[in-house]
Amino acid sequence: MILVVKSGGEAALPEWQACFAEVAPQLSLRWWDDPALDPASVDYALVWDPEPGRLARLPRLRAIFGSGAGVDGIAADPHLPRGIPLVRCVPPEATQRMGEFVAWAVLSLTKDARRMAIAQARGAWDYFEPPFAAAARTVGIMGLGAMGLRSATMLRALGIPVVGWSRTRKALDGVECFAGAAGLPGFLARCDVLVCLLPATDETRGIIAAPLLASLPRGAGLVQVGRGVQQVLPDIVAALDSGQLSGAVLDVFDPEPLPADSPAWAHPRITVTPHVGSLPSRLERARYVADCITRFERGETLPNLYDPERGY
Ligand code: NDP
Ligand code: OXD
């Protein structure tokens, strides 16, 4: 069986090969642009951002594995082969790492870590009294899927109150849940810190813009770990400059890498992180893909399938 890989660049192939040799020695791994590869020999693909039309040129392809949890970079291909499962990469380590990142970002905002980092860079003893215990701030999570649910659980374990918003209503112990467009204003009014863990879809594009930001309590924090296309960066900067937002941790941008002239880089109230919210090890991802392939070969249902009707 042949698995063709386009994730992490050609330099990552030897590591992918070593990982799959450990967990699925029956799979033969080939680089995406290998000139000696016969397209008709490929059974599976592991990709992040394939060039549009390329997957459609693999006539024997049976399943596509995203190398991340969000597969918008694959689903955007207008020639994406239909009727072939597209599997999001959501091993346990992915949700654990995202929960860790979200907890770190929320605590960074409530402790004003950005102010401390700026003062340290100046060699200044900038004594101040952080105004709140994190447990006195309510965190609102937009998107209660695999990532949002784990983040909610980990924040709750820190004693931080959590509310959540999703497309369909959820029932979660200790988390007040809101749903749909009708539930959005009530949800936003509760968020001292807003965390975005939504997928990129037509509905979520541009959602983090001036109207949404104005609906948050004054001085709220923002953690954006969804997708860059969901935010209007000038609106975020304006909200920070006016005091409507007190700080932001932004992990995703459009485009990526963030251009050198972006106002986000030097903004005193923005922490920029380079799309590292959750990056499970290659071994963990290889184990997950290998397990999915085993299940698929047995005719079992695959987990975390992309649904083209919903768009995520
Ligand atoms: P899931 O598909 O498991 O969950 C998506 C959640 O978003 C669901 O709760 C869904 O609602 C909700 N949702 C979708 N559309 C809407 C909408 N229009 N209105 C309200 N709620 C909506 O995805 P994951 O949790 O695995 O991942 C979420 C996203 O996080 C990824 O798509 C990716 O963009 C981002 N991500 C970023 C990473 C990073 O490193 N920065 C790493 C991993 C993921 P419902 O429950 O009703 O279906
Ligand atoms: C993502 C990921 O979807 O890194 O952003 O998993």
pLDDT digits over 34-71, tens only?
999 999 999 999 999 999 999 999 999 999 999 999 99
- Residue to probe by mutation, ligand 2, list 67, 278, 285, 312, most atoms within 8 Å of CB: 278
Query: Residue 73: CB within 6 Å of ligand 1?
Result: no
Q: Quick check: helix, strand or coil at residue 2?
A: strand
Atom 23 in ligand 1: which residue has the minimum CA distance? 145
Instruction: Classify domain 2-91+280-297 at the CATH class level.
Output: alpha beta
Give domain 93-272's CATH architecture: 3-Layer(aba) Sandwich (3.40)
What number does the ligand 1 atom closest to the CA of 166 have?
A: 21
Query: Residue 203: CB within 6 Å of ligand 1?
Result: yes
Query: Residue 312: CB within 6 Å of ligand 1?
Result: yes
CA of 122 to the centre of ligand 1 (A): 39
User: What is the pLDDT, as a whole number, of residue 131?
Assistant: 86
Beta bridge partners of 247: 221
User: What is the pLDDT, as a whole number, of residue 158?
Assistant: 97
* Residues annotated as part of the active site: 227, 275
Query: Residue 44: CB within 6 Å of ligand 1?
Result: no
Atom 19 in ligand 1: which residue has the minimum CA distance? 167
Residue stretches of the chain with pLDDT short of 70: none
Q: How far apart are CA 226 and CA 209, in angstroms?
A: 14
Same CATH topology for 2-91+280-297 and 93-272: the answer is yes
CA separation (Å) from 92 to 150, 277, 302? 10, 14, 15
Question: Length of the chain in residues, anyone?
Answer: 312
Take residue 100 and report the two structure tokens written for it: 């860790």
Q: Which has the closest alpha carbon to 145: 189, 211, 195?
A: 195
**Domain spans of the chain?**
2-91+280-297, 93-272
Please name which ligand lies nearest the alpha carbon of 223. 1
Q: Which has the closest alpha carbon to 84: 95, 75, 92, 97?
A: 75
CA separation (Å) from 18 to 15, 40, 157, 180? 5, 24, 36, 44
User: What is the pLDDT, as a whole number, of residue 101?
Assistant: 98
Atom 44 in ligand 1: which residue has the minimum CA distance? 69
CA of 278 to the centre of ligand 2 (A): 6
